[in-house]
Structure 1
């Protein structure tokens, strides 16, 4: 059966470092997997937000 160079390289890496896939999953969870959004909480945050004035640095004029 034919295996490409890349597949052989990946298989070799997995043999050398068995924890590689677990580390990849941990990194993905850290950066990409997000918690579900609570709609009640997000609407409360939107309604409690204070509007910013158009001229932020010149509020006393």
Structure 2
């Protein structure tokens, strides 16, 4: 059965590092998977924001 060079490389890599897929899943969870947003808390945060002046360096004008 034919296997491309890339498939052979990936199979060898998985044999050498059996924990590779788990490491990838943990990395993805760390960077991309987000916790659900609490809408009430988010509304409270937005309501408590202080509006910024149009030009922050000259607030006395």
Which band: TM-score by shorter chain? over 0.9
**For residue 46 of structure 1, what is the aligned residue in structure 2?**
46
Q: How many residue pairs are counted as aligned between the two chains?
A: 61
- After superposing on structure 2, the runs of 4+ consecutive aligned residues of structure 1 that deviate more than 6 Å are none
TM-score by length of 1: 0.94
Structure 1: runs of 5+ lacking an equivalent: none
Structure 2: runs of 5+ lacking an equivalent: none
Structural RMSD (CA): 0.7
TM-score by length of 2: 0.94
